[in-house]
Amino acid sequence: MVTKGLLMHLGCDVTTVGSSEECLLIVSREVKVVFLDVCMPGGDGYEVAVQIRKRFSKRPERPLIVGITGSTDRVTRENCLSVGMDGFILKPVSVDKMRNVLSDLLEGRTVFEGL
């Protein structure tokens, strides 16, 4: 819920979900960015990212996908890249870090922090 609070502080409209299934049910063209915990309940963030990319095959229609994790290993970064995430950030996430990530993503840059 920390991520939700940071995004709301930055003026974003935020919807949170409790599982990978719920995430896939609500993702739509209106969603601009999806932040996925790499180890989310009911599945993993990697599989959710793959499913979102399949659903929105055209880039302008697809929400940007950002993985969030506390893991600093190289495999985690490689997995995020291999499933086509647009970014990756490490916990803990601060307001400044979130602001920078959103700015970079919305300007068309990828964000792969830390590894």
Residues 70, 45 contacting (CB under 8 angstroms): no
DSSP class of residue 61? G
Residues 85, 49 contacting (CB under 8 angstroms): yes
User: What's the confidence (pLDDT) of residue 41?
Assistant: 66
Q: What are the tens digits of pLDDT across the range 21-78? A: 899 999 987 888 999 988 876 678 899 999 999 998 876 778 999 999 888 788 888 8
Number of domains in the chain: 1
**Exposed / middle / buried, residue 99 (Cβ in 10 Å: 0-12, 13-18, 19+):** middle
Give the C-alpha separation, 89 to 103, whole Å. 14
Domain residue limits at 76: 2-112
User: What's the confidence (pLDDT) of residue 115?
Assistant: 45
Q: Residue 53: which CATH number?
A: 3.40.50.2300
> What are the beta bridge partners of residue 111?
87
pLDDT band at 114 (very low <50, low <70, confident <90, very high): low
Say what the pTM is: 0.86
